[in-house]
C-alpha cells in the first residue's frame, strides 16, 4: 500500500458529510506542520476551513479542495459501507473516493516528497481546505479568500483537486467554469372546478406556451472558452392533489448554466420579455449561485499538461464544462486557477470509486507541477 493510498483510505473513513469535517483537516494539518507549514484553522459557523502555508516569497503555488462529501444515500444500495474504504477489482470504493479525498491525499504526499527533495525551495506552497463546498458554499472557501484579500495575500498558481477526468486520469483539466443562475417562477391563475373552466384560469395552460418558448431559446452561442448557455426546468408544482380542482398557481424552478457570453442581467431580462409577451400574471425570484470564471491558458495549464503527460501518459483537453466549483472564489485573488483530479464518472453516486492504479500517477502529476513551478 502506497502512502497516498493509505492516506486516502484514512480520509474516506472519516464521515465528513457536509458541513462536517470529522477530523480530516486536523489529520492533514499535522502532516503539513511536520514539514514546516504554518497552520491556520479558520472556523466560520459550522464550517471548518484550513489555510496552511510554507514560505513567504513569490510565486505562491496553492492546492485547494474540500473535505466534505455529499450524503451516502441508501446504505443498502452500496456493495460495501461507504465510510469503510474497500478495494475490489482494482478500485477503491467509498464516499469521497473520487470527490475528492484521493486528490487531498495526493496533494499531501506530493508536497511531502517535494519538500524532502527541496527543503530550501524558492517561492511558497499553500493548501486551502474547506468543509463547505458540497453545501451552501457560504462559510467555506469564500470566507478564506476574504481573509486573504484583506491582508493582501494573493495566489500565483492554484490547482483545485476536483475530479475533472472523464474516461482516464489526466484526459481533462479545467481552467474555468460556467455560472449558475436559478429562477423561482410563480404563475398566478384562478382556482376553480374542472367542470367549470370558464370560471377559472388555469396557470398551467397559460404558462405552457411560454415555457416551451423558453426551452427553445438560443441564449448565446458560447465562445472560444465556453459552450453555449443552457436553460433547464428542474421542478414544476401546481394543484391541490385533487383531480377535479384547477390550480390557482403554478411554481416552476429553473436554472441557467451560463457562459461569459451572457450576463445574469441579460438572461433575466430575456426571460421577462418572454413571460410578458405571453401576458402572464407572475412573480419571479432570482438566485445567482455562481458567476462564471476563466483564467488564461498560461503557465499553469502548460505546466500541468507537461506533468500529466509525464505521469499518466496522456495529453489533457482544456475544458470549462461541468458544474460550479470553489475555483470561482479563488480566481478573484489568483492569477491562474486550473482544476485537475480523478475520473468523475462515479461522483455523488452509489459505489463511488477511483481506480487504485490512478492514485500514484495523480500524486506524480501534482509533484511534477511543483517541480516545474518552484525553483
Active site members = 68, 133
Per DSSP, the three-state class of 299 is helix
* List of residues 6+ apart from 19 with CB closer than 8 A: 46, 47, 48, 68, 131, 132, 135, 139, 140
For 3, other C-beta atoms within 10 Å of its C-beta total 15
C-alpha span between 126 and 32 (Å, rounded): 10
H or E element, residue 186: strand 179-188
Helix-strand-coil split of the chain, %, nearest 5: 30, 30, 40
* List of residues 6+ apart from 302 with CB closer than 8 A: none
> Can you read off the three cell numbers belonging to residue 270?
430575456
DSSP 38-67: EEEEEEETTEEEEEEEE-SSSPEEEEEEE-
Check: CB of residue 8 under 8 Å from CB of residue 101.
yes
> Can you read off the three cell numbers belonging to residue 173?
483539466
Phi first, then psi: give them for residue 49, nearest 5 degrees.
-125, 160
Check: CB of residue 96 under 8 Å from CB of residue 69.
yes
Check: CB of residue 103 under 8 Å from CB of residue 66.
no
Phi first, then psi: give them for residue 304, nearest 5 degrees.
-65, -40
For 364, other C-beta atoms within 10 Å of its C-beta total 20
* List of residues 6+ apart from 291 with CB closer than 8 A: 179, 264, 328
> Can you read off the three cell numbers belonging to residue 116?
524532502
Amino acid at each position: 500500500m502506497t502512502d497516498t493510498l493509505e492516506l486516502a483510505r484514512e480520509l474516506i473513513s472519516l464521515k465528513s458529510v457536509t458541513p462536517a469535517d470529522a477530523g480530516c483537516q486536523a489529520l492533514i494539518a499535522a502532516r503539513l506542520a511536520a514539514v514546516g507549514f504554518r497552520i491556520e484553522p479558520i472556523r466560520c459557523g459550522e464550517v471548518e476551513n484550513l489555510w496552511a502555508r510554507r514560505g513567504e516569497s513569490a510565486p505562491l503555488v496553492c492546492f485547494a479542495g474540500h473535505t466534505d462529501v455529499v450524503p451516502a444515500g441508501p446504505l443498502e444500495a452500496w456493495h460495501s459501507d461507504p465510510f469503510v474504504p474497500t478495494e475490489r477489482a482494482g478500485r477503491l470504493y467509498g464516499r469521497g473516493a473520487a470527490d475528492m479525498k484521493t486528490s487531498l491525499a495526493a496533494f499531501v504526499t506530493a508536497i511531502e516528497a517535494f519538500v524532502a527533495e527541496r527543503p530550501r525551495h524558492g517561492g511558497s506552497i499553500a493548501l486551502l481546505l474547506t468543509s463547505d463546498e458540497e453545501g451552501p458554499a457560504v462559510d467555506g472557501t469564500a470566507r478564506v479568500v476574504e481573509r486573504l484579500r484583506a491582508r493582501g495575500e494573493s495566489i500565483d498558481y492554484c490547482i483545485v483537486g476536483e475530479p475533472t477526468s472523464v474516461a482516464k486520469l489526466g484526459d481533462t483539466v479545467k481552467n474555468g467554469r460556467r455560472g449558475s443562475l436559478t429562477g423561482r417562477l410563480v404563475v398566478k391563475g384562478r382556482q376553480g372546478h374542472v367542470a367549470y373552466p370558464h370560471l377559472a384560469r388555469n396557470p398551467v395552460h397559460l404558462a405552457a406556451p411560454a415555457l416551451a418558448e423558453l426551452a427553445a431559446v438560443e441564449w448565446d452561442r458560447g465562445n472560444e472558452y465556453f459552450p453555449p448557455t443552457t436553460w433547464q426546468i428542474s421542478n414544476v408544482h401546481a394543484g391541490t392533489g385533487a383531480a377535479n380542482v384547477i390550480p390557482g398557481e403554478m411554481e416552476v424552478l429553473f436554472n441557467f448554466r451560463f457562459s461569459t457570453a451572457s450576463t445574469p442581467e441579460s438572461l433575466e431580462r430575456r426571460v421577462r420579455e418572454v413571460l410578458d409577451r405571453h401576458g402572464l400574471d407572475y412573480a419571479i425570484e432570482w438566485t445567482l449561485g455562481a458567476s462564471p470564471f476563466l483564467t488564461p491558458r498560461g503557465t499553469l495549464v502548460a505546466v500541468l499538461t507537461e506533468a500529466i503527460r509525464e505521469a499518466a501518459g496522456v495529453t489533457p483537453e482544456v475544458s470549462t464544462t461541468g458544474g460550479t466549483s470553489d475555483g470561482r472564489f479563488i480566481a478573484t485573488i489568483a492569477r491562474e486557477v486550473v482544476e485537475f483530479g480523478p475520473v468523475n464518472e462515479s461522483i455523488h453516486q452509489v459505489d463511488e470509486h477511483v481506480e487504485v492504479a490512478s492514485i500514484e500517477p495523480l500524486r506524480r502529476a501534482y509533484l511534477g507541477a511543483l517541480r516545474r513551478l518552484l525553483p
